[in-house]
Amino acid sequence: MAILKILTDKEPALRGISRSVDAITPRIITLLDDMKDTLHKANGVGLAAPQVGVLRRVVIIETEAGKLYEMINPVIIEKSEEIQHELEGCLSVPGRWGITERPKKVKVKAMDRNGNYYTLEGTDLLAIAICHELDHLDGILYTDKAIRMLTKEEIEELGE
């Protein structure tokens, strides 16, 4: 496995639109494994393939230790009303945090590494992470949707 470089918001590749995965190849499996190692090394909650320079519709999320969700060609099929979230950040936007509105609950349909389709319902942090990571697949960063970004002083008060 390898630790991949996480692109920052200054790199135009993050604004690209990801292509669907047509077949689960050894390359896709390696990408999933490398993304997992990269996510753990960065102490993140989620990672989308575009964040590591691969414009494919692949996402991993781990909001609880040991409970990793791998999503290939994910699509949100249901979502609840949006609520305001006080703190959203991103591995590609280091040191910055914002206030966003995201659904409290979402349902996503995706494929796993074995090519099996499944649905996943997420609430609260998992719902935020799903929406956040799927936005990356369309070249959207949370900063594009933020109601407002926190100031340096507010971030320092939070201890982030």
Which residues are identified as catalytic?
133
Tally Cβ neighbours within 10 Å of residue 117. Answer: 10
Classify residue 151 as left (phi > 0), alpha (psi -120 to 50) or beta: beta
